[in-house]
Structure 1
Amino acid sequence: MQNVWRSGVNWDDAIGAKEREEWQSWVRLLPEIGNIRVPRCYLNASTSHNIQLHVFCDASEAAYAAVAYLRADLKGEVSCTLVASKTRVAPLKPVSIPRLELMGAIIGLHLSKLIKQEVTLPVTKTIFWTDSKNVLHWIRSDARRYNQFVALRVGEILESSNPFDWRWVPSAENVADEGTKCNQYERMDGDSRWFRAPEFLVLPPKMWPETHLPGSTALEVLHHIQIEPTSNLPLSTIMPKAERFSKWEKFRAAQRNVLHFLQRLMRKPAQSKHLQLALSCPTIEGAENLIILNCQLEAFGEEINCLQRGLCIMPESSGLKEESTQQKAFNLMRKGQLFCQARVLLLHSSLISTIVSTTTYITKSL
């Protein structure tokens, strides 16, 4: 059904030849379901004091599944019985196999909790089996190292189970693999290993598959990189968007709040001298100066570089074309005032003239 959905066929159209063959192959298997006989009795479980619940998990590109068995040991006589299973088709959105394996582990966990709630027998130990070493690495590591998808599911697993109850099993012996693949040649009777449990479960625990996890595969790890502060970062990175404010007063107040927040947050002094000055006294005036300085840096980066290097020659492409305006701008810059172009504004009725670019959003809105 999922492949038919992926093919994009309409409701009234015939499905493709490949999907039709797969469908007919599946339909031919249905009559064989009548040959299946599942024992309802948990052998030796009522008299045994050593009852274990073994849950096998697996996944493929098509589905993920979990199947659970009760293992009852009565004076060395071991019997294994199928209890329940659960299978889910893989999402339509492509998901990596390791993530699908983790989703299989989750339904295995849910299945074990349901069984222990409904079965009245005293289960002494629960063991989970998976052939994915990626999943085992995630479960036995710090969940905070991984991204949200992995971290949330690993956290759920750790809340309800012991990490060392999760063990590795070879893919050839993982019975849950049969629930993740559609094989038309699979035996559909009660003698298949799906209904009888893996053969190694009747053996002593020392003969079970051993779990060896050499080194972390580092899949899905979140790498936290410490980035040193640099003075090359533009001031615009700490400024609200001017387009969001209809009034100049609201914009200045928002910038002041940002400076207050940064003042409490920063442990090291800022490398930018202008930012250091603004953070030392985060007032409305300081926020206003920082906003205008950012406009100047965006519009006249080349001119400011010339002044900082001690050059008195303006670039030919500079918008400061009038000689009087150029000289005023140079004088303002040398005196530590703000450096701008083209339009003179008197802020707060101040007598200090500030030249700002007419192309900025702030200038147009004032």
Structure 2
Amino acid sequence: MTGAQLASVLKRELTLNIQEMVYWTDSTTVLTWLQSDSCRYKVFVGTRVAEIQELSGPASWRYVDSESNPADDITRGKTLSQLAGESRWSQGPPFLQLSANHWPNAPSGEPTEEVEELRKTSFCGLLTGADTPTLPDTQQFSTYQELLEATTRSLHGAANITDHPTADDYNKAELALLRQAQMESFPEDFVLLKSGKAIPTSSRLLTLTPEYDETTDLIRAGGRLRRCEDLNREFLHPILLALSHPVTKLLIQHFDNQLCHPGAERVFTELRRTYWILRGREAVRKHQYNCPGCRKWRGKPEIPKMADLPPSSLRLF
């Protein structure tokens, strides 16, 4: 590392046009490190390897055997007079005056790597069932209808646009989208409720007494109206959604467009027939504040400022 730092200082301070720099080391282990990624090694080695790789290219490093390495002369018991005279310590090794074809080559064979300097590796993976569907990325769609269409075709396996999914396919796709949104928004609560366990007291769903619906595989809001026979199940126990999830935002946008951009309470009421969005009013107001259609409907005409009176009206008679 000291050699790379010194070479960097020379290139920065000298006014000479240096076209190429060659670095030498008598350690095959160091050469192996420089040809690898620094993140593979522990902090002490990895930090130094990363700095050397920033200051020099790995291809600039060559191998020199210990017998031809002048840097070892100072450790071999030579006297000061021997080092002060003309020697390879001051003049450099003789092979540098030859062409690059006569320079020392690295030993043949597979280089050995010190295992104790390597970081411990661990496997991190996600196991999914063979029948688990892969849903489209919700953030790649600008409308809920486009997302639903893509999800339906993904689950239906339609190869081209001539295939027509059924209404049941659209229903299954919508349930899959809502299920994914709940698993991403409430992962711990979803697992606990599905296994029949109580959610923690710190959960943000606790006040809604959530319950797991085995028919649709979704979390629904609880309540005391389950004995009411005049209202359907979707209205009594709406589907729980988080306000910040992309699916929720597309749903709010979809209802707002379908209702022709009414007030926030109108959109919120229609959503509450099927969905319970956490802090739903805030989510609807936030959407309508940034919605171009809503801003157009709420816009008011601007009364122009009256012009100055003409000179004819200002004459004194």
**Same fold at TM > 0.5:** no
Pair member with larger Rg: 2
The TM-score, its normalising length taken from structure 2, stands at 0.39
Report the structure, 1 or 2, having the larger helix content: 2
Per chain length, whose mean CA-contact separation is higher, i.e. which structure has more relative contact order (CA < 8 Å, sep 6+)?
Answer: 1
